[in-house]
Amino acid sequence: MDADFDLIVLGAGSGGLAAAKRAVRHGARVAIAEGDRVGGTCVIRGCVPKKLLVYGAQARHQLQDAPSYGLHVEAVRSDVSELLERVRSEVDRLNLRHRQMLSEAGVELLQGWGRFTAPDRIGLSATPGGPIERELGAARILIAVGGQPIRPSIPGAEHTWLSDDMFLQETYPDQVVVVGAGFIACEFACILRGLGVSVTQVVRGSRLLRGFDHELADAVLTGMQDSGIQVLFDRTVHAVDRVSPDDPSAGLTVELSDGRHLPCGGVLMATGRRPRLEGLGLEIAGVAVDRGRVLVDADQATSVPHIHAVGDVTDRINLTPVAIDEGRAYADSVFGGRPRQVNHDLVATAVFSDPELASVGLSEQAAIERFGEEAVTVHRARFRSMSRALPASGHRCLLKLVLQREGGRVLGCHMVGEHAAEIIQMAAIAVGMGATKADFDRTMALHPSVSEEFVTMG
């Protein structure tokens, strides 16, 4: 049977969109199947709307600082419901724009939920798992369906929010409990607090932001606590109950493992994500799955040679830029005659908490584990930035270089403070090129700035 397309992509998120558009540029006939809006987690219910809420919280901070600069703003009215509505409107605009860009690129959008009906055929249904309404064949298929948040199995879990739900609220209640220690939990805790919500964060372990440099995570914790967020470590949530079963607006009670009961108006479960594999028919296609993720090699190939996968569905580095690069590398290799593999060893990351954290390369702990404590040296600078001089308040910055003692190569470059992500993005270029401490020291400082501390620290 002849193929209808050279490539069918399952999922119109960041990785799928990048692969589809790049493959068309290489001359392939491409279709992309999506049952939801176009844009994926990042655009619809992740990075983009979250960052807009971060800016909303920052605007409130700026108004609070205004008197320090001689600006006296009277009668400011805060309307979180209006902010949320504006965020949703921007997401709607981006969804339409992504649909237009697919059309302009020559990619056919198949509106529907796609699943394998054979190793080389995709069936489309109007609802997830619903009856097949259309079936198409392709010489190659790319799985790019992304991931989804996990709701823990505890009594009353159905009363809680997942991260997706945070953008659908009409407003936020006065008190919220955030459960989790990762970047999603920390970001939303800071957003909510910045918007005037009383926040308690419940953490199962003894640290925030596992996988990040410990010193940076501690700096974020200090800043969060200074802003009024209560962080409870070494506790789990046993149950969530409605105060009044007949009146949802009456609020919730969160029962903790230590017997404590927390009253609140909402609970966010930010306790992890997993690949979105249900209903894809991977067993029909013969695609191997391990621990809930699609297994791929360095070329994004699954156990079936003509089927590949990119992005969060592979559960490696679940970041939008990684998915985009994986999608483009796949298209370049398979359809463009330019084989290349994605380097997952040096990926800059950011946490848009308050204060903001950004990092590239090895943490101090990872560097010591890899090279040994005697082979690693650390330089750091702690200070309050000039932007906080007149308000005389706010978080302190922490800048940190992790070096290989012999030769001084920069193994990791880390920062907590204002504009951390913007600064580390540029530092990532230097780290990727193998820069040494001497290279940083030779660089003339741009004064006065926060980033100059990276080239002046002793």
447 is catalytic: yes
Interatomic CA distance for residues 373 and 364, integer angstroms: 9
Cα 236 to Cα 158, 159, 180, 189, 271: the distances in Å are: 17, 17, 9, 17, 11
Interatomic CA distance for residues 295 and 354, integer angstroms: 36
Q: Are 399 and 414 in contact (CB under 8 A)?
A: yes
SS3 331: helix
Bridge partners of 380, per DSSP, are 400
Cα 11 to Cα 27, 34, 296: the distances in Å are: 20, 5, 17
In terms of Cα–Cα distance, which of 426, 429, 425, 370 is closest to 402? 370
Count of Cβ atoms closer than 10 Å to residue 234 Cβ? 11
SS3 221: helix
In terms of Cα–Cα distance, which of 329, 273, 267, 265 is closest to 296? 329
Residue 292 is classified by DSSP as: T
Interatomic CA distance for residues 124 and 116, integer angstroms: 9
Q: Say which residue the tokens 């991931």 belong to.
A: 147
Residues contacting 293, CB < 8 A, separation 6+: 274, 275, 277, 313, 314, 315
Q: Are 275 and 315 in contact (CB under 8 A)?
A: yes
61, 379, 395, 447: the active-site residue: 447
Cα 39 to Cα 102, 123, 240, 417, 442: the distances in Å are: 11, 21, 33, 30, 43
Encode 2-25: b = buried (16+ Cβ within 10 Å), e = exposed: eebbbbbbbbbbbbbbbbbbbbbb
Residues serving a catalytic function are: 447
